[in-house]
Structure 1
């Protein structure tokens, strides 16, 4: 029913194009979000709904887990069919992926943007065409989306900084920071929060590098940082793969004295929680993928005809050697 209605609207636009050049494009291309009813596509439990999930990349274990969480949760709701795309860290490819979902007239769009600015316009286009948009983990600019689901990246950075200040380096010290991809909102927010967390301490960030969220890049950058800053005592990495890469570089350099802290805390054998248990990381910070919450949101909008909040903040927690086993077991019970 919904797709038929959209087709009729498109035909009506074409019929009056001579009177309003580019019918429908004015609202799509303005910088403002147009008023929407996010439940407009809801046909109740009897309907069938197609969801497009645009993933920034599948090079990060966190994003693989996010897709798995979405796939697993959606399998429990027979009305939902989720189609996935992988932008492979390419902004242009992700724009194309979203354009394809718009062309297919999906009933709802999920997206975890590679970077905010390059994806903002196409997300706004989808939203202003009446497609509910669920933004996961990384944000877009503006308000042209239905709901954002993610943990508070400033808070999680602050949590990591306070662990450095209160536990890891209470007397102060010199550290390195390995950041995520420049242009992605978590990178800036996790840095901001971390600096808040160490404020008033004797901790000094003597070097920073962009590790692009990847283990191999984190290892390369850490190798260079150790050569230029041998005084480094500890490393704050904005995700666990980069922290593990930095640990590998330190091992190669014979620097067993360094301490490493990451973010993600995936409850998988290769994730950060197990790295804490094994002693490679001093701590990690759980950052939920939001996959199940995204599917719950889609069900509310499409099946239950319910409204959802503009922002859904997920809970985080610090993981150390003392609680790693308990947290790992608890997260795997869900």
Structure 2
């Protein structure tokens, strides 16, 4: 009898030890059960297929935006496929349908219009595919829409133009309708015109097709129409591709008394901005790589089951030649050393996202 009781007691002790051992192994990281569950959910997000549906992929700003998207997705163990419509909205709509039909895990949208995208977006949501858009006029429930502070960007460059011009002069506007960010920037321009009636618009143009080349060609024609120094005070451009073309035409014509003010900024733009012979003197922008990174973070929040806002506004930064070093060239990755608020945005980050990146 004693031997039997001893055997039972020994069995209980051994069983308790095994259970305790298993428990200590599960909690060896020191993580709480909630943290472990969140980490497990984050691990489930590895290997996701993400579609990036773009209206256009023009210039270095767009290419750096795509780099930001890919960098953030790859950090989270996923893979990006890019669909580019070359400004053809019908093709963009078709590309969106293709992304849905190919059963991508999540969809990112860059530009586009509600008319072209709404039906495809609703189809994606019906199939439980989350969608996050950038600079698209979309108001579909369940979609998080990112935009830059477009009016703020336009106001910053226009106010500096007015200050440099002494509140009077003749200007050229380069802008194109039909794009959400352009339309928002145009609102700031209209307010600027009312505020500064002595600043006259003598010419306006712009196209999304070959924008840098077209802007250069059209600016060359305008310079011939206004050949004298003082005929044109400044050029305001609503997109960096426009600023590139206008700046090249002005510089080649030797008319660098004309100043150019832009919106958006890439590495190529920054080189032009730093050139003392370039008429391009200032721009207002958000780091294009940051835009891509932030957009991906909100998509992964949706994949994780988190609640996300309907609208996210990215804060722009004003960058002028005066802020930049004169003894060396810098790129957008180094710009934060000279311009406060540039790059390194933490928008859209969560603790579990940061933990998922480390894994």
Give TM-score scaled by structure 2 length. Answer: 0.72
Q: In structure 2, what is the Cα distance between the partners aligned to 1:225 and 1:130?
A: 52
Paired residues of 1:159 and 1:197 also in contact (CA < 8 A): no
Q: How does 1:140-289 map to 2 (within 5 A)?
A: 140-144=137-141, 146-166=143-163, 168-180=164-176, 182-197=177-192, 199-201=194-196, 202-212=198-208, 214-230=211-227, 231-266=231-266, 268=267, 270-271=268-269, 273-279=270-276, 280=278, 281-289=280-288
CA distance in 1, matches of 2:344, 2:130: 30
The 1-side partners of 2:97 and 2:261 are apart by: 38
Match status 1:75 vs 2:74: yes
Give the equivalent residue in structure 1 for 2:298. Answer: 297
Change (3 A) 1:154 1:60: same
User: 2:114 & 2:281 partners in 1: Cα distance?
Assistant: 31
Greater share of helix residues, 1 or 2?
2
CA contact (8 A) 1:108 1:131 kept: yes
Which deviations, in whole Å up to 9, do the C-alpha atoms of 1:4-25 show, x marking residues without a partner? xxxxxxxxxxxxxxxxxxxxxx
Q: For structure 1, which runs of at least 5 residues remain unmatched after alignment?
A: 1-41
Q: Does 1:329 align with 2:335?
A: yes
- How do residues 103-114 of structure 1 correspond to structure 2 at under 5 angstroms? 103-114=101-112
C-alpha distance in structure 2 between counterparts of 1:128 and 1:60, whole Å: 34
Tell me the secondary structure at the aligned position of residue 195 of structure 2.
coil
Q: Cα distance, 1:196 vs. partner?
A: 2.3
Partner Cα distance (1:189, 1:69) in 2: 24
1:70 positional shift: 0.6
* Contact 1:235/1:261 (<8 A) preserved: yes
Partner residue, 2:60 = 61
CA shift, 1:257, in A, is 1.6
- The question of whether the paired residues in 1 share the 8 Å contact of 2:87 and 2:208 is answered with no
CA contact (8 A) 2:109 2:136 kept: no
Equivalent position SS for 1:171: coil
Q: Which residue of 1 aligns with 2:91?
A: 93
Asked if 1 retains the 8 angstrom alpha-carbon contact of 2:108 and 2:296, the reply is: no
TM-score (norm 1): 0.78
> Which residue in 1 is equivalent to 2:23?
none
| Deviation of the 1:140 alpha carbon | 2.5
1:143 is displaced (CA, Å) by: 3.0
Please tell me whether the aligned partners of residues 172 and 203 of structure 1 are also in contact (alpha carbons under 8 angstroms): yes
Q: CA RMSD in A?
A: 2.4
Find the aligned partners of 1:110 and 1:206 in 2 and give their Cα distance.
39
* Partner Cα separation in structure 2 for residue 198 and residue 321 of structure 1: 25
The equivalent of 1:120 in structure 2 is 118
